[in-house]
Amino acid sequence: MLRWVRQQLGFDPPHQSDTRTIYIANRFPQHGHYVPQKFADNRIISSKYTVWNFVPKNLFEQFRRVANFYFLIIFLVQLMIDTPTSPITSGLPLFFVITVTAIKQGYEDWLRHKADNEVNGAPVYVVRSGGLVKTRSKNIRVGDIVRVAKDETFPVDLVLLSSDRVDGSCHVTTASLDGETNLKTHVAVPETAVLQSVANLDKLVAVIECQQPEADLYRFVGRITVSQQTEEIVRPLGPESLLLRGARLKNTKEIFGVAVYTGMETKMALNYKSKSQKRSAVEKSMNSFLIIYLIILLFEAILSTILKYAWQAEEKWDEPWYNGKTEHERNSSKILRFISDFLAFLVLYNFIIPISLYVTVEMQKFLGSFFIGWDLDLYHKETNQRAQVNTSDLNEELGQVEYVFTDKTGTLTENEMQFRECSINGIKYQEINGKLTPEGFSEDSPDGNRHSLMREEELFLKAVCLCHTVQINADQTDGADGPWHANGIASPLEYYASSPDEKALVEAASRVGVVFTGTSGDSMEVKSLGKPERYKLLHVLEFDPNRRRMSVIVESPSGEKLLFTKGAESSILPRSKSGEIDKTRIHVDEFALKGLRTLCIAYRRFTPEEYQEIGKRLHEARTALQQREERLADVFNFIERDLELLGATGVEDKLQEKVQETIEALRLAGIKVWVLTGDKHETAVSVSLSCGHFHRTMNILELVQHKSDSTCAEQLRQLAKRIKEDHVIQHGLVVDGTSLSLALREHEKLFMEVCKNCSAVLCCRMAPLQKAKVVRLLKTSPEKPITLAIGDGANDVSMIQEAHVGIGIMGKEGRQAVRNSDYAIARFKFLSKLLFVHGHFYYIRIATLVQYFFYKNVCFITPQFLYQFFCLFSQQTLYDSVYLTLYNICFTSLPVLIYSLFEQHVHPHVLQSKPVLYRDISKNAHLGFKPFLYWTILGFFHAFVFFYGSYLLMGEDTSLLGNGQMFGNWTFGTLVFTVMVITVTMKMALETHFWTWINHFVTWGSIVFYFIFSLFYGGIIWPFLHTQDMYFVFVQLLSSGSAWFAIILIVVACLFIDVLKKVLYRHLQPTSTEKAQMYSNRVALSDEFIALQPLSRARNQLSKISLLRQVQVSTAWTPCAASQMGKQHAHLLEECWND
């Protein structure tokens, strides 16, 4: 029970030891002093709340918001002291906002609980008491032997014990963990690999010692001690023995493994760190505005309190005959009375702070985010993928992007590799109709039409077929002798590979006659022109990003020990001592200039003595429990030397559709594009040129291959000087990973100055963390630009999380980037629609929403302030308490919410075809201090017109009601309130450019609802109300013709100035967006407009307009893809505009 309570509170005791000891099948030592270690259970918890802590935790989070906390204080003040308004006026809106937000957050967390329960309740099979027992995933304990079948995911982190294969190997895919779609091979130790039945496993007596849980997916150090009769056999355990939770078993019927890490201690759970909360620029502006309005509120409250006491300095006003003080009031402290009056005025004016703004903004973001998923223009038919929104808090940030950081492979390109060229022994080859043809020869030429391979060519292709991590579909391995053509070239095998490059190379080798046909135990089988050969796989030297190469040591059919190595040219060529090194280096550079991805291939022969020493060194390094990685790296470097270069390969990665147009559109919109890639310099530059990131006319500056701070700084200074001298032309910058590290270490400001003056920047040879550093560098620069990062692989996750907006591409490198992103799209080309249309609309909508809320609350509370000058600052309220409560909740909330969901101030296709319109909203242009000041002043102006207009027209006359009764203060307040509700609703109507039936319904419906509600509220005596000051007031007000005249006159007076300002500005100083609106409005062009055109052009315009009338676009456009008619309409508008 105590442990459960500690887990609920998040106080799990830390592990005391650096290692954990696991007794397989939980066979603990029988001696009495053994104390078993405590491990976490296997429950995964991604939810935020529990049933017990939901209310306190959610309330704490909500009251951290300034507005919510402020209203709570006001509500408590109303409860404690005598205030002019009922506590309900603050309590009810606060309760409404808190409840709606809690329901939304509770629902989202319930979905997380539901997902957790599905995972934790999944059925699994565990070996217990000599048989297989079916249980739930959450019941697995550390030490349990678990059975996993083909295509199932691993429920815990397991050490592989055995599989259905004799050698104890199995294949898994870790796409859900690291984004890699390859099949990875994992191997059991020989002593447990033979235990393939439940009965044999139940007899196993073994102990595993391993490190405590850590997040690194690729690191695992441990050892297993197997007790066999009288001896104990110790075997090392590494990453190749560990099956990670979330990975999926492939091409293997079943495996048995022992649970070593469970629940929140699995590597998957440790890598699931909650992303840092991203806040949009709009939210920051909102908080600033809130503070300004708090200052206004305090100023009004203090001024009213001071004026009250100044007024009461005269004896006749201090205690008038009709309002005598009690004995307690006469004897109370003046300081306490001053504080009490100040708090009372604070309560009276508190509605200037819009409490419902937060909940409206949350609803707008939550509901608005569905439109991205519904947009058919963002749907990719080939892969059946639509855009998805992982966080709705950043919708408007899509309209503020200034820098785009993009990955290259899989983001700008398809990540579909096609073998194009290779260099073998200094000769370039191309593949023509399934044959390797030397450059300069055609298939028909004598040397081009060969049916055999030269020795060097065959050795090169065998190296390609043996040095890889490619797997073959298990269903095909038995049919490796399947349908072959007469020349033994075509292969029916389906390959799975760790990277598309490897798959393309193995497939290319199979087409030209050297076919990898699979593995059998510790052997790799190859067919060379139909002749089968078996190579024994002795050792695999795994790829790592530091070495940037991988190797295999094999024994050939003749018994020779061979090392085949494959990797980047920078890691292979310096280690080669023979072969055509210079020619191959030239060919590699030529391949890179064509935009091909390059790999170099080399080999080495071992003497028996050399191999014996290598085997000894490898065994020592692999069984080490301390510093295993460093020792292995040293041994790998010792082995991979004195290589003989065989050649190089060039593989093409196709550009995605419309990448060039999208990058050009981003540039027109004022957005700078940076490409961050791990590819080599020449390949990256070539792709940048082909995709339009660099122009042919652009001056390309380079900061590459610097080894010291001094040379890097000198080069940066020269680049800065060149940019100043040639400021007329555009510049592009190329920087590599090593130079970037030096530049960021000492010369950050100089580097940033160079980058900001370049139109495009390309960073090559980048590590994942370097990508994030570059994004952070821009993000934290003095200008604080809004950044967007887009990528498709696990190596892009850090960059995506660092940027203000992270976008994942649903590519071929798994779903890691998509899961960690804010938005996910299927192709790079969809970025333009996402930013220029959705981003533009979201920003305009929420900017208007926020400022309109402040405006209508200024309109609401300023007459209350002005009324105090006419009631001796007695804190008499101008409005009835029910009106105070419902103003923001019912009477004025729906029109602005619907506006913020459906508004389209410019046709979406015009926005997409004219990216320059994006500049109109950049740098928070619509939510800066000037627009905010305009809305605030407009609110004060309208409030003065409401109050003094009503006072001048009605206040002095006491007999204007239909029944001849006097015009009282409640009638006056109701008149002001009525004018206010109509005016602020009409103001929203004036701001609306795109009308749907929903807009009409809520706009006019809100006004009608106010009238109907007021008639019912004031026309009936409600038994549950203590007082009913408003009884029959509204009916009497509407019975007066003068009141109707005053309402119409004041509303027109308020809105006339606003309309006049809009008209003058649109005609004298129109923005690009307003020009687009005007040209859009010319769809219904009059004859006068046609008359202004030359005759031939007028005919053209008339024909367009007649066509436009046939293709009128429905006003009920949804954010899904517009119809063909709508698109035709937009293109015609654009033509009119261009004309």
Cβ atoms of residues 561 and 538 within 8 Å: yes
Measured CA to CA, the distance from residue 875 to residue 879 in angstroms comes to 12
Sequence-distant (6+) residues with CB within 8 A of 556 are 533, 535, 562
Q: What is the CA radius of gyration of the chain?
A: 37
Which helix H or strand E contains 1106, and what residues bound it? helix 1095-1110
Long-range contacts of 271-274 (CB under 8 A, 24+ apart): 271/177, 271/215, 271/217, 272/46
With contact defined as beta carbons under 8 Å apart, do 176 and 820 qualify? no
Cβ-based burial of 11 (10 A; exposed 0-12, middle 13-18, buried ≥19) = exposed
DSSP H helices in 816-927:
816-819, 830-833, 840-867, 881-886, 893-902, 908-913
Edge-to-edge order in the sheet of strand 123-128: 131-136, 123-128, 145-149, 254-261, 157-163, 242-243
Give the angle 568-574-577 at the CA atoms, nearest 5°: 120
What DSSP string runs through 281-332?
HHHHHHHHHHHHHHHHHHHHHHHHHHHHHHHTTSHHHHS-TTSPPPHHHHHS
Beta carbons of 819 and 801 less than 8 angstroms apart: no
Question: Given the DSSP bridges, would you call strands 643-655 and 413-424 parallel, antiparallel or unpaired?
Answer: antiparallel
E strand or H helix that includes residue 346: helix 334-349
- Which residues on neighbouring strands pair with residue 644, listed in sequence order? 578, 603
Return the structure tokens found at 151. Answer: 């295509």
Residue 794 DSSP code? G
Backbone angles phi, psi at 525, to 5 degrees: -110, 135
Sequence-distant (6+) residues with CB within 8 A of 654 are 413, 414, 416, 418
Both structure tokens of 380: 């990719």
Side-chain-facing half-sphere of 725: CA atoms under 13 Å: 7
Burial, 1092: exposed, middle or buried (Cβ in 10 Å; 0-12, 13-18, 19+)? exposed
What tokens were used for 596? Answer: 């091909």
Q: Is 407 an active-site residue? A: yes
Dist. CA 486–CA 150, nearest whole Å: 36
Cα separation, 494 vs 474, whole angstroms: 9
- Active-site option among 407, 679, 736, 822: 407
CA-based nearest residue to 152, from 123, 193, 121: 123
Question: How far is residue 1101 from each of residues 907, 1096, 1110, measured CA to CA in Å?
Answer: 19, 9, 14
Contact 220, 245 (CB under 8 A): no
Q: Are residues 618 and 568 in contact, defined by beta-carbon separation less than 8 angstroms?
A: no
Closest CA to 1018 of 1001, 1049, 1039: 1039
Cβ-count burial 726-735 (b if 16+ within 10 Å, e if not): eeeeebbbbb
- Give φ, ψ of 404 to 5 degrees: -115, 125
Question: Which CA distances in Å does 340 have to 34, 295, 347, 770?
Answer: 69, 19, 11, 59
Per residue in 73-96, is it b (16+ CB within 10 Å) or e — as a string?
bbbebbeeeebbbbbebbbbbbeb
Known catalytic residues are 407
